[in-house]
């Protein structure tokens, strides 16, 4: 079963990725980061110092006074006050760095999300068509969030661990270098143990990811077909299949966790082991007078202290690995090539003055193409395809040598079975995809010379998938033209007969549509789609199965409005329902990417060819 691609869990270019991740801390947060680092170091040093204080306290302020009736404790008190102020400084440093790291890391995620999203908006449509939507979502819901621990947890822990370890060892060496050597031995064992555990868990880790994606795929497929499962009493079998994957995952996740769950207790107790060894040896030194009681107390505290941050660091190993893998995926997306947009010709409104076209900022319902040399060519809506060949991938040609034309104001219809290439043609007109061979011209200008934004503004699309945005009905209509007034939106809704159902909604035009308009019927959503396109008032329109879910009765009602809408505009129509295409100026019948018939309805019926078959239902169409 070919489920989604298995997401890699290991980064390839570790240093490059780390550097790039940290570059997202950004210029404006650079000073915050430097202050944070200083605070982390200071706070760790406070910890190191706190253990050392026992040496002077015991040696200078306690032991000398043992047994005295009236000891002079002012020095002791001052020592404690001194300790207290250092501690307070440490607490402040900790608070400051934690707050700063929180600001820096959340800011970093914000920048990453924003950059990624901005980048994504500029990617070609093929990206969205090829990648499952769940996988694109995962960049944001999973990958970006996994990048945070690298900066927010692992980095401070690293600085803290380094400072603490260096500080502790420096102090231990200072207190007694002989005892320090004993500690080093147990550290060696710890490092060896940790790295061998990490190695063996790596192996299972990759397998684990694969099994998780198996479960993902299975649940996705089964729940998508849950209704069919019900109808066929197939619940038991579905469950049995699920249990198989679930058990596999269970066995392997036990194995993976087994090794890593031993890491923490074993390392913690190795530290105790070192503690015991040092205690015995220290006692011997103490008797021999090689070490003071205070120094031994401090030393023993250090033995426990330095292992803390190190084991914290080792616990973050897997997290960092996941961070890196996530970062690599995110940066991979950021490095993708954006849509090619090399055109220079732009679109503008014009008015005619003494038979000459003049560019204007006003809405005149007349447009012109502005050539790079500032010449204006009136937009008439003459669209021509010449010998167009196109393939989504090398394996399969979707369109072969397609030539056709639409004269200004004409209605051209495409019919044919699924996969014949109808939608593909419309995707080529506005350059969702680029053609491989041939030319497409718009009023004589090759479309690749037109700036993409302007090309797309000139073509209004009403698509079969009734995609609406959350927000009010009004906002959804206005999506077609952001500066449209309420009146203009309402007029557009009236034109395509959407106003009658909108006014019956509880809040009328202010009704908030839930995710993708699920509180409306499919047909109602299609009406809104049409209204959205009407408000945009584009010179050319593409209607791709725009009325497929509107019942025949309603379709009749909106027919007049649609005719009104199409008047004076070149329109390309794809329709399943042949009654919709009957009055087109030309009907183009496509089969396997080639034009097999063309002509108007009467011609084609008279021909008794493919169209006739389709129309009378003798051939399969969907």
Partner 1 sequence: MYKLLIKYTKDGWWAAILGPLFVILEVVFDTIIPYLMSLIIDTGITQRGGDIDYIVRVGGMMVVCAILAGITGALSGVFASIASCRFIRNVRTAIMEKIQTYDFRNIEKFPVPTIVMRTTTDMRMLRMAYVSIVRMLVRTPLNIIMSAYMAIKLNKSLAAIFVVVIPVLGTGLALMIILSRPRFIAMMHRFDDLNGQLKENIEDIRVVKSFVREEHEKEKFSLVSWMVTKAQRYAETMVIYDDAFFQFVMYACMIAVCWIGGNHIITGSMTSGAFMSFLAYLKAILMSLMGVSMGIMQVVMANASVSRANEVLSEIPDIDDSNADPELQVENGNIEFRNVSFKYSKHAEKNTLSDININIRSGEVIGILGPTGGGKSTFAQLIDRLYEISEGEILVGGHNIKEYKLHNLREAVSMVLQKNTLFSGTIEENMKWGNPEATHEEAVEACRIAQADDFIMSFPKQYESELGQGGSNVSGGQKQRLCIARALLKKPKIIILDDSTSAVDTDTDHRIQLALKEKLGNMTTIIIAQRVSSVKEANRIIIMNEGKIEDIGSHDELLERNTVYRDLYETQMKGVQE
Tokens standing for residue 508 = 């009328």
Q: With contact defined as beta carbons under 8 Å apart, do 584 and 424 qualify? A: no
Smallest gap from residue 16 Cβ to partner 1 (A): 26
DSSP code per residue over 57-88: IIIIIIGGGTT-SS---HHHHHHHHHHHHHHH
Q: Cα 522–523–529 angle (5° rounding)?
A: 90
Nearest-angstrom CA–CA distance, 282 and 268: 21
Smallest gap from residue 75 Cβ to partner 1 (A): 11
Query: Nearer to partner 1 by C-beta: 266 or 376?
Result: 266
Query: Nearer to partner 1 by C-beta: 303 or 385?
Result: 303
Query: Nearer to partner 1 by C-beta: 357 or 413?
Result: 413
Smallest gap from residue 291 Cβ to partner 1 (A): 11
Query: Nearer to partner 1 by C-beta: 465 or 563?
Result: 465
Q: With contact defined as beta carbons under 8 Å apart, do 622 and 417 qualify? A: yes
Nearest-angstrom CA–CA distance, 316 and 197: 14
Nearest-angstrom CA–CA distance, 145 and 547: 41
Smallest gap from residue 122 Cβ to partner 1 (A): 7
Query: Nearer to partner 1 by C-beta: 21 or 94?
Result: 94
Smallest gap from residue 258 Cβ to partner 1 (A): 5
Query: Nearer to partner 1 by C-beta: 136 or 351?
Result: 136
- Among the listed residues 219, 214, 217, 213, the one whose alpha carbon sits nearest the alpha carbon of residue 239: 219
- Among the listed residues 195, 104, 117, the one whose alpha carbon sits nearest the alpha carbon of residue 153: 104
Query: Nearer to partner 1 by C-beta: 406 or 536?
Result: 536
Q: With contact defined as beta carbons under 8 Å apart, do 215 and 245 qualify? A: yes
Smallest gap from residue 354 Cβ to partner 1 (A): 33
Smallest gap from residue 353 Cβ to partner 1 (A): 28
CA 601 to chain centre: 47
Q: With contact defined as beta carbons under 8 Å apart, do 317 and 267 qualify? A: no
Smallest gap from residue 239 Cβ to partner 1 (A): 6
Smallest gap from residue 324 Cβ to partner 1 (A): 18
User: For 497-549, where are the E strands, in sequence order?
Assistant: 512-513, 540-544
Tokens standing for residue 141 = 């819901």
Q: With contact defined as beta carbons under 8 Å apart, do 349 and 359 qualify? A: yes
Adjacent-strand bridge partners of 377: 369
């Amino acid at each position: 079963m070919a489920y989604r691609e298995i997401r890699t869990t290991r980064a390839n270019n570790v240093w490059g990725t780390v550097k790039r991740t940290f570059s997202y801390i950004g210029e404006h947060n650079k000073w915050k980061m430097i202050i944070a680092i200083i605070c982390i170091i200071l706070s760790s040093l406070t910890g190191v110092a706190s253990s050392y204080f026992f040496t002077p306290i015991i040696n200078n302020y306690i032991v000398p006074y043992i047994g005295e009736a009236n000891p002079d404790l002012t020095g002791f008190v001052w020592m404690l006050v001194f300790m207290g102020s250092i501690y307070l400084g440490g607490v402040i440093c900790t608070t400051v760095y934690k707050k700063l790291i929180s600001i820096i890391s959340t800011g970093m995620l914000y920048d990453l999300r924003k950059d990624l999203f901005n980048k994504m908006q500029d990617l070609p449509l093929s990206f969205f068509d090829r990648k499952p939507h769940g996988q694109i979502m995962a960049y944001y819901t999973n990958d970006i969030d996994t990048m945070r621990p690298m900066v927010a947890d692992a980095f401070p822990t690293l600085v803290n661990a380094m400072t603490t370890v260096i500080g502790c060892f420096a102090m231990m060496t200072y207190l007694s270098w002989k005892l320090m050597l004993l500690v080093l031995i147990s550290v060696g064992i710890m490092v060896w143990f940790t790295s061998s555990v990490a190695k063996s868990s790596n192996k299972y880790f990759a397998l684990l990811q694969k099994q998780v994606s198996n479960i993902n795929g299975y649940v996705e497929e089964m729940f998508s077909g849950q209704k069919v499962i019900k109808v066929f009493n197939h619940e038991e079998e579905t469950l049995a299949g699920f249990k198989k994957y679930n058990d596999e995952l269970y066995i392997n996740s036990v194995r993976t966790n087994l090794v890593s769950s031993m890491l923490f207790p074993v390392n913690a107790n190795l530290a105790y082991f070192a503690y015991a060894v040092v205690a015995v040896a220290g006692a011997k030194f103490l008797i021999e007078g090689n070490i003071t009681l205070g120094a031994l107390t401090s030393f023993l505290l250090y033995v426990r202290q330095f292992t803390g941050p190190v084991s914290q660091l080792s616990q973050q190993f897997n997290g960092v690995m996941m961070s890196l893998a996530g970062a690599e995926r995110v940066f991979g997306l950021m490095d993708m090539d954006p849509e090619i947009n090399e055109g220079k010709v732009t679109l503008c409104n014009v008015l005619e003055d003494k038979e000459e076209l003049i560019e204007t900022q006003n809405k005149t319902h007349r447009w012109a193409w502005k050539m790079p040399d500032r010449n204006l060519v009136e937009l008439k809506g003459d669209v021509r395809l010449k010998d167009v060949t196109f393939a989504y991938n090398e394996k399969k040609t979707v369109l072969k040598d397609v030539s056709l034309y639409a004269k200004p104001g004409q209605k051209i219809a495409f019919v044919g079975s699924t996969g014949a290439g109808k939608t593909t043609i419309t995707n080529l007109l506005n350059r969702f995809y680029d053609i491989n061979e041939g030319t497409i011209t718009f009023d004589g200008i090759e479309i690749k010379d037109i700036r993409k934004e302007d090309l797309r503004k000139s073509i209004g699309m009403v698509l079969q998938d009734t995609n609406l945005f959350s927000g009010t009905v009004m906002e959804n209509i206005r999506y077609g033209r952001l500066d449209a007034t309420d009146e203009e939106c309402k007029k557009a809704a009236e034109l395509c007969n959407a106003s009658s159902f909108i006014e019956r909604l509880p809040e009328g035009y202010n009704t908030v549509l839930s995710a993708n308009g699920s509180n409306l019927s499919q047909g109602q959503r299609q009406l809104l789609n049409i209204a959205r396109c009407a408000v945009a008032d584009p010179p050319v329109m593409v209607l791709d199965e725009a009325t497929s879910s509107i019942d025949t009765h309603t379709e009749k009602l909106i027919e007049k409005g649609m005719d009104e809408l199409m008047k004076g505009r070149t329109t390309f129509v794809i329709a399943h329902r042949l009654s919709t295409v009957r009055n087109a100026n030309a009907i183009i019948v496509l089969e396997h990417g080639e034009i097999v018939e063309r002509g108007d309805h009467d011609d084609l019926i008279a021909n008794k060819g493919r169209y006739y078959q389709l129309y009378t239902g003798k051939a399969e169409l969907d």
